[in-house]
């Protein structure tokens, strides 16, 4: 659990988490339902601590099959082990936790804002309402903070996770550079150093900027940001043609799940670092620190030529033969571009079942927002932001904000349900159920609700008409009273010896 662990140790951890799928622990993890926050609070600790001790007991060869599985999903660049681990570790719950946290932090901020403003008032505002509201706010605040802390606690292991995953990025990139070597698309021998230098501008921000962001917002899904960042940068770039070297990878290379292969057994890896970890199993010569350490970047002596990439798809704007050719900046861009534009969208959102993506990271980005924060207009249009919805409503006549159903249900349903439940009960059995189940919160309320159920308009219309209102009047005044009397007698006999007093109560109530 040492966050400062070396790359090697990190890799060990990762593969260890991977290589132990059969030991029952892993299955526990994956089968853990994305549940309620309250339940999640404790569990991540339990789940994630155990895999760490066997860090060094890894046998690389065993992991073969396991690693293949995520690879088949064609995870673009995102290291496969990483994703699979995430899945085991129940990312959807994590997602829930995060969005919950986000929401709470917003609320908290608003509240604190309110409080700050109120504290500014001089001579303490004798206004009663103000103090009342302040108490209210502080109560809300406390509850929010408690929720925040508990939810944040459930995220704690993911912090460790982030720390481990920031380093692999480097390896990942290295790996990318190495991509060219085996396939030899560029026969020039200096490709490796060139790649390094060419990727510098991209490498740097990722290592410095991203990890922090990632830690703050989305501790697990860092690769989401990469493609977007890069392509944004790419759009604005206007390099004169000829000032850079154009590389074009073949379709197979782009879609290849693995880019690093073991020279001994032929097993493929997405990352060089993983390959190096794997190599340790092939002999002691691979266990030397030199062999394990990251092959350091050799700074090439020759003048660095900027590298840009071309899409292999003919007719694409990103293809070097296109009239208005716009080069792609990195291999990552090439991969994402190719999949997004020229491949089938094979990933379907599990929430809405309509949106499809060809890049896993895109799907995840979408899933994070899918169904949540949908600001819905009565015309059916959805908005990701509330102000956009309100702008829309202000603009169009007759459009109105649509209140989400679960909200209205939360308000409208429970009493009805209670009514129905209690109205199903028979008077006699009701008392019995009270006695046998004293802990149920709504017992008396149910009883009352049954009475309220009589007010139900349906009942009016069915049982008697308005002209028979005298009858209705009788019904109304009598029922509640009998009801209360019944419950009272129950109380009397059951738990208290009020029997002598009850007589008095009855006589007086008769006179009402």
Partner 1 sequence: MAPFVLAALESVLPHIVLHHMSSALDGERDSFVNYHNTLRISSYEFRPYMSFSLFPKPTQQRKQKTFPSLFRDHPKRQRSKAKRSSAMKKQKRAQQQNDTNPFELLSEELMFVILDFLETAPLDVKSFSLTCKRFYCAEAKHRRLLRPLRAEHLPALAARYPAVTDLDLSLCPRVGDGALAFVAGAYAATLRRLDLSRSRWFTASGLGSVGAGCGNLVELDLSNATELRDAGAAAVARARNLRKLWLARCKLVTDMGIGCIAVGCRKLRFICLKWCVGIGDLGVDLVAIKCKELTSLDLSYLPITEKCLPSIFKLQHLEDLVLEGCFGIDDDSLEVDLLKQGCKTLKKLDISGCQNISHIGLSKLTSVSGGLEKLILADGSPVTLSLTDDLSKLSMLQSIVLDGCPVTSEGLRAIGNLCISLRELSLSKCLGVTDEALSFLVSKHKDLRKLDITCCRKITDGSIASIANSCTSLTSLKMESCTLVSQEAFVLIGHKCYYLEELDLTDNEIDDEGLMSISSCSRLSSLKIGICMNITDRGLTYVGMRCPRLKELDLYRSTGITDLGISAIACGCPGLEMINTSYCTSITDKALFSLSKCSNLKILEIRGCLLVASIGLAAIAMNCRQLSRLDIKKCYNIDDSGMIPLAHFSQNLRQINLSYSSVTDVGLLSLASISCLQSFTVLHLQGLVPGGLAAALLACGGLTKVKLHLSLRSLLPELLIRHVEARGCVFEWRDKEFQAELDPKCWKLQLEDVMQ
Residues 392-451 that bind partner 1 (CB under 8 A): 393-394, 398-401, 403, 407-408, 410-412, 415-416, 434, 443-445, 447-449
User: Rule CB under 8 A: is residue 470 a binding residue for partner 1?
Assistant: yes
Q: Closer CB to partner 1, residue 209 or residue 505?
A: 505
Shortest distance in whole angstroms from residue 414 CB to partner 1:
9
Q: 3-class secondary structure for 125-173?
A: CCCHHHHHHHHHHHHHHHHHHHHHHHHHHHHHHHHHHHHHHHHHHHHHH
Q: Closer CB to partner 1, residue 252 or residue 387?
A: 387
Q: Closer CB to partner 1, residue 111 or residue 210?
A: 111
User: Rule CB under 8 A: is residue 242 a binding residue for partner 1?
Assistant: no
Task: Pick from 118, 297, 345, 351 the residue near partner 1 by CB under 8 A.
Answer: 118
Per the structure block, which two tokens stand in for 39?
A: 């339940």
Site string for partner 1, 353-392 (x = CB under 8 A): ----------------------x----------xx--x--
Q: How many other β-carbons are positioned within 10 Å of the β-carbon of residue 118?
A: 14
Beta-carbon contacts of 68 under 8 Å, excluding residues fewer than 6 positions away, are none
User: How far are the Cα atoms of 16, 67, 88 from residue 61, in angstroms, in the given order?
Assistant: 12, 10, 21
Q: Closer CB to partner 1, residue 244 or residue 490?
A: 490
User: How far are the Cα atoms of 48, 87, 142, 411 from residue 42, in angstroms, in the given order?
Assistant: 11, 18, 20, 31
> Site residues for partner 1, window 165-184 (CB under 8 A)?
none
> Site residues for partner 1, window 85-114 (CB under 8 A)?
110, 113-114
> In whole angstroms, what separates CA 306 from the centre of its chain?
38
User: Rule CB under 8 A: is residue 36 a binding residue for partner 1?
Assistant: no
Task: Pick from 159, 200, 469, 493 the residue near partner 1 by CB under 8 A.
Answer: 469
Rounded distance between C-alpha atoms, residue 215 and residue 207, angstroms: 12
> Site residues for partner 1, window 128-157 (CB under 8 A)?
129-130, 133
Q: Closer CB to partner 1, residue 150 or residue 489?
A: 489
Shortest distance in whole angstroms from residue 425 CB to partner 1:
15
Window of 73-81, 145-153, 266-274, 459-467 that interacts with partner 1 by CB under 8 A: 459-467
Per the structure block, which two tokens stand in for 298?
A: 């050799």
Tokens 């903070």 correspond to: 145
Shortest distance in whole angstroms from residue 369 CB to partner 1:
18
Task: Pick from 295, 371, 427, 480 the residue near partner 1 by CB under 8 A.
Answer: 480
Rounded distance between C-alpha atoms, residue 401 and residue 186, angstroms: 57
User: Rule CB under 8 A: is residue 121 a binding residue for partner 1?
Assistant: yes
Size of the site for partner 1 (CB under 8 A): 80
Radius of gyration of the chain (CA): 33
Of 438, 442, 451, 462, the residue nearest 486 (C-alpha): 451
> Site residues for partner 1, window 483-502 (CB under 8 A)?
484-485, 487-488, 490-491, 495-496, 498, 500-502
Of 432, 425, 472, the residue nearest 448 (C-alpha): 425
Shortest distance in whole angstroms from residue 273 CB to partner 1:
49
Q: Closer CB to partner 1, residue 87 or residue 99?
A: 99
Q: Closer CB to partner 1, residue 352 or residue 412?
A: 412
Q: How many Cα atoms occupy the beta-carbon half-sphere of 130 within 13 Å?
A: 13
Rounded distance between C-alpha atoms, residue 367 and residue 98, angstroms: 13
Rounded distance between C-alpha atoms, residue 71 and residue 81, angstroms: 8
Q: Closer CB to partner 1, residue 233 or residue 444?
A: 444
User: Rule CB under 8 A: is residue 512 a binding residue for partner 1?
Assistant: yes
Helix (H) or strand (E) holding 261: strand 260-261
Q: Closer CB to partner 1, residue 244 or residue 383?
A: 383
Q: Closer CB to partner 1, residue 212 or residue 509?
A: 509
Shortest distance in whole angstroms from residue 145 CB to partner 1:
18
Q: 267-291 as b/e, with b when 16 or more CB fall inside 10 Å?
A: bbbbbbbbbbbbbbbeeeebeeeee
């Amino acid at each position: 659990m040492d966050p400062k662990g070396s790359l090697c140790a990190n890799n060990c951890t990762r593969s260890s988490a991977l290589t132990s799928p059969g030991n029952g622990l892993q299955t526990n993890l994956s089968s853990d339902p994305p549940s309620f926050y309250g339940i999640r609070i404790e569990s991540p600790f339990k789940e994630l601590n155990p895999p760490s001790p066997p860090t060094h007991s890894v046998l690389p060869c065993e992991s073969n099959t396991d690693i293949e599985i995520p690879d088949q999903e064609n995870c673009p660049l995102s290291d496969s082990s990483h994703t699979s681990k995430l899945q085991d570790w129940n990312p959807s719950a994590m997602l829930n936790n995060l969005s919950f946290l986000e929401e709470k932090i917003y609320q908290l901020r608003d509240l604190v804002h309110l409080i700050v403003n109120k504290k500014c008032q001089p001579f303490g505002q004798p206004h009663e309402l103000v103090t009342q509201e302040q108490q209210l706010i502080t109560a809300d605040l406390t509850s929010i903070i408690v929720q925040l802390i508990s939810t944040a606690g459930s995220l704690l292991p993911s912090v460790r996770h982030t720390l481990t995953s920031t380093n692999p990025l480097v390896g990942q990139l290295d790996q990318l550079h190495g991509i060219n070597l085996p396939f030899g698309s560029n026969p020039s021998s200096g490709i490796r150093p060139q790649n390094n230098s060419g990727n510098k501008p991209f490498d740097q921000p990722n290592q410095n900027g991203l990890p922090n962001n990632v830690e703050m917002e989305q501790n697990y899904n860092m690769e989401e940001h990469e493609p977007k960042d890069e392509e944004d940068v790419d759009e604005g770039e206007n390099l004169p043609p000829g000032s850079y070297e154009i590389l074009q990878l073949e379709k197979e290379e782009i879609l290849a799940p693995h880019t690093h292969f073991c020279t001994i057994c032929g097993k493929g890896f997405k990352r060089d670092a993983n390959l190096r970890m794997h190599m340790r199993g092939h002999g002691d010569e691979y266990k030397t620190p030199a062999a394990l350490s990251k092959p350091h970047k050799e700074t090439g002596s020759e003048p660095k030529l900027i590298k840009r990439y071309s899409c292999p798809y003919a007719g694409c704007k990103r293809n070097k033969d296109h009239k208005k050719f716009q080069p792609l900046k990195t291999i990552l861009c090439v991969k994402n571009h190719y999949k997004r534009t020229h491949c089938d969208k094979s990933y379907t959102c599990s929430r809405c079942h309509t949106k499809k993506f060809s890049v896993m990271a895109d799907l995840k980005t979408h899933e994070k927002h899918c169904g949540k924060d949908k600001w819905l207009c009565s015309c059916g249009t959805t908005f990701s932001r509330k102000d956009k919805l309100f702008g829309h409503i202000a603009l169009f006549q007759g459009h109105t904000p649509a209140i989400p159903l679960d909200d209205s249900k939360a308000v409208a349903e429970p009493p009805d349900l209670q009514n129905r439940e209690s109205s199903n009960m028979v008077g006699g059995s009701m008392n019995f159920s009270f006695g046998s189940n004293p802990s149920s919160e709504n017992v008396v309320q149910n009883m009352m609700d049954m009475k309220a159920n009589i007010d139900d308009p349906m009942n009016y219309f069915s049982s008697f008409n308005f002209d028979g209102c005298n009858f209705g009047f009788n019904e109304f005044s009598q029922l509640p009273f009998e009801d209360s009397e019944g419950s009272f007698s129950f109380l009397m006999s059951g738990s208290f010896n009020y029997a002598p007093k009850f007589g008095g109560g009855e006589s007086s109530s008769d006179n009402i």
